[in-house]
Amino acid sequence: MQRVLGYLGDQGVRMGDFKAVYESIPLSPGMPDLFQFLSKNHELFEIILISDANMFGIECSLYLSLGPYHSHKCLDCPANMCKRKILTEYLAERAQEDVEFQRVFYVGDGANDFCPAAALTAADVAFPRKGFPMHRLAQELQHKQPGAFQATLVPWDSATEIARYLQELLKKKG
C-alpha cells in the first residue's frame, strides 16, 4: 500500500482526491442495513471493528478511529495482525471491567477472519460471507474435523441477512 500511495503522490494525486474516491467505495451489500439495525439497538450490542485494511481507507469509509497493529505468534495469520489475539484481548479487557457477553457474533469474509471465528464457542455465531475464504475454511474444517468449529455458522450474501438473524434472535428472547 505504501508503494501505491507513493506512486499516486508522484502522479500528482492529492489527499482530498484520494479521500473522495475512498468515500465513494460502497460497503458490502446490506452493510448499511446492518449498521442501522445495530445503531437502533446499541444498548444490546457492543461493536468492535477488526480490520487489516489500511487505516486511511477505513477511516474515510466509516469515519472510525482504529487501534494500531501488533506483533503475534499465530502461524495461521498474516504477520501484521492476528484477529483472534485482538478479539481475545478485547474480551479479556471487558471482563476485567465486569462486562460479560452472552455470546459473540463475528462477521467476516477473509481468510484472516477464520482464525478468530474458529476460537468461538458453541454459544457464539460466526457469519462468513458466502463464497469467500472464511466460509470455505470453516466448511473445510467442519468436513475434516466435525465438531471442531463450535460456533453456529450462518453464511450471508447480504449483511441484511445478518440483521434479520439478529432481529429474530431478539424476538425469541423478548
Residue 69 vs residues 53, 78, 85, 148: alpha-carbon distances, Å: 11, 11, 11, 28
Q: Which of 122, 132, 124, 94 is nearest to 106 (CA)?
A: 124
With 0-12 CB in 10 A as exposed, 13-18 as middle and 19+ as buried, what is 1? exposed
Q: Which of 165, 137, 125, 153 is nearest to 38 (CA)?
A: 165
Q: Edge-to-edge strand order for the sheet containing 152-153?
A: 105-108, 125-128, 152-153
C-alpha cell at 34: 446492518
Asked whether residue 109 is marked as a ligand-binding residue, the answer is yes
Separation between Cα atoms, residue 132 and residue 152, nearest integer Å: 17
Q: Binding site for Mg(2+), residues?
A: 109
Q: Binding site, residues?
A: 109
